[in-house]
Amino acid sequence: SDYIIYDSAPYLSVAKLQINSLTTVMYDRQKLCTTIGLAVTQLPLLACLLGNDVVSEEHVRQIRTSAVETYRRASPAAYSRAPHGQVVLAVTRLVSTLGSPDGEQTELVPLSLNAPVPLRDLLKKGISSYLLPGQKSFEFVDVSASPATFEKLVSPEILKACREKHVAAEGFMVYCVVCAGVTECSNSLEDEEDEELLPQALVYRPCRQRIYGLLLLHGPDANSLENPAIREWFVYPGNPLNEPEMIHPVPINISCGRPSLDVLWFSSGPEVSALRLTAFLSVFDCVEFSELFGQIEDSLLGALCLITYVVLQVQTLSEEDVDAYLSQAVCQRLKSSPELQQIELPLLSSRAVQLGSLYVRGISHLLGANNASGCPLPSAALMPWHVFDGRLFHSKYLLAHRGVEKHELLDDDPSCLSQFLLLKEKLVETCRKRSRALQSRPRAPERSLSPSPGGSSGEDWRQRGETAGGHQRGWGWRERRGQNVYKSRDRMWGRGGHRGRGQDFYSCHSSEDMSRCLKLPRGRSNHYRGRYQLAPRWPHPSAP
């Protein structure tokens, strides 16, 4: 019942699985409610009266028997149904007669339900078990109207293409925005002690707003304030995640006005190709880079857009940080997987890990903008394993802040050095036009990986933000967490807990990225959840 009530994950039927075609049936909460004539808020009571892990079938047998008798008298054809099906329909009809779900019903168990006090108390306990932490009553989102609100803003052809891409594991951000009006990011790898860097959710919000505008605001008459806002569930300090933030779409700023999504996705020709590229670059506020299209590799163009955007949004990024980003992008394409794995780091920097995580989070936005624009760049060129390696970036970060010569930073490769200088020139020029001046602020490392004679403690390097024990437990970086989001880890993993989907697809990085992805055990019994902060669940659009 948890899966149906909270719509927390696709609920697929194993009994109806066809092995040859790999097709099955997926249960849809809203269609279930429409079929049986109940509101979502009445499902917990239905679950309790049918029997669950709190209220046993024995406790409610008398109520169910009475409901079946009443149902059979009212529906003589009910005898033709299977016995279990009769029970479900009978109890459903009973629940529907206990009062309007929209009425001012303050009791968890309707007063009209004729049940003794002990059973009523047990039913209250069972229904309460479906409440999320902090809830006093059921406040489910009405998903029946939400998807239609957004789907009416795009053509049926766009909706069909969205679903096809979704089935092919492409364009997840576009699908969630167009079909449900919601985006999420339930975890973030950031240093809670580094106050210089903005939370990732806020860094990329302007980018997301332009993606929303590209998808939903079409034509000269479209008004961002008149269109429905997107519900964002993004974790960052100070956001308790009690409810979504309502974020309005922002139109992209290009000379031809607001392009039609149908033109971007389905039309062809040189003019349309140029329009797609312009729309994509506008999301990151770097239309000037259109002249580089075809001159440099697509992966480098995407990296340059992302790095430029981050520099414009995060004022504390230094010239050394930019050099590390650009040199990693240029050199990564020429290194094999074994070469990347053999990179040795003299030390580990919490800030380097955080900057790497910030970059990888941006890759999902690159892919979202590219899909929304009609894919001016091949999606494969923007995949994380083609554009970023955490170990390589870490080494470039340390070299850049050590002040090495550019040729050493670029592995003494003249071709890489030439591309690096070209990319940096374009980035600096674009930033200058927007009154953003890069400054040199090298950060000297404090410790090496060689253990000192007296050893070192975790608390010692944690205070410095650098560590010599890269594989020790408790690195100098932590995941950002809001204050008092959950008062206990037990409650966090109670009913309806959320384990993260959507943009979390890119929270685990490519080969050896960010040293290793955190692998935490799953399940309610595990009380120590590491440093992940988890967001609540909301309705996802059902798969096509």
Q: What pLDDT score was predicted for residue 446? A: 54
Asked whether residue 306 falls in the same domain as residue 354, the answer is yes
Asked whether residue 32 falls in the same domain as residue 157, the answer is no
Letter string b/e over residues 39-48, b meaning 16 or more CB atoms within 10 A of that residue's CB: bbbbbbbbbb
Q: Which two tokens stand for residue 14?
A: 């194993």
Domain end residue (candidates: 389, 412, 433): 433
Q: How many domains does the chain have?
A: 2
Residue type, 400: A
| 412 is a domain residue | yes
Asked whether residue 118 falls in the same domain as residue 200, the answer is no
| 449 is a domain residue | no
Q: Which two tokens stand for residue 205?
A: 């919000």
- Residue 324 neighbours by CB distance under 10 Å: 28
pLDDT digits (tens, 9 = 90+) for 269-319: 999 999 999 999 999 999 999 999 999 999 999 999 999 999 999 999 999
| 429 is a domain residue | yes
CA dist 101 and 96 (Å) reads: 9
Say how many CA atoms lie within 13 Å of 438 toward its Cβ: 22
**Number of residues written out for the chain:** 544
Closest to 86 (Cα-Cα) out of 95, 75, 97: 75
Please give the residue range of the domain that contains residue 344. 146-433
Asked whether residue 60 falls in the same domain as residue 173, the answer is no
Asked whether residue 43 falls in the same domain as residue 122, the answer is yes
54 Cβ contact list (under 8 Å, min separation 6): 48, 122, 125, 126, 129
Asked whether residue 20 falls in the same domain as residue 159, the answer is no
302 Cβ contact list (under 8 Å, min separation 6): 366, 370, 377, 381, 382, 387
Asked whether residue 104 falls in the same domain as residue 193, the answer is no
| 14 is a domain residue | yes
- Residue 295 neighbours by CB distance under 10 Å: 9
Asked whether residue 252 falls in the same domain as residue 385, the answer is yes
| 504 is a domain residue | no
Asked whether residue 418 falls in the same domain as residue 297, the answer is yes
Say how many CA atoms lie within 13 Å of 159 toward its Cβ: 16
What DSSP string runs through 465-495? TEES-TTSSS-S--B---TTS-S-HHHHTST
Asked whether residue 182 falls in the same domain as residue 317, the answer is yes
| 485 is a domain residue | no
Q: What pLDDT score was predicted for residue 394? A: 96
| 10 is a domain residue | yes
Asked whether the beta carbons of 431 and 367 are under 8 A apart, the reply is: no
Residues of the chain scoring pLDDT < 70: 1, 7-8, 76-84, 99-107, 132-149, 151, 219-226, 445-544
Asked whether residue 226 falls in the same domain as residue 370, the answer is yes
* 530 phi, psi to nearest 5 deg: 70, -140
Domain end residue (candidates: 433, 454, 473): 433
CA 21 to each of CA 18, 24, 27, 84, 147: distance values in angstroms, whole numbers, following the listed order: 6, 9, 19, 30, 29
Task: Provide the terminal-to-terminal Cα distance of the chain, rounded to the nearest Å.
Answer: 22
| 537 is a domain residue | no
Asked whether residue 308 falls in the same domain as residue 380, the answer is yes
Domain end residue (candidates: 433, 466, 489): 433
187 Cβ contact list (under 8 Å, min separation 6): 235, 479, 500, 504, 507, 532, 533, 534
CA dist 402 and 347 (Å) reads: 12
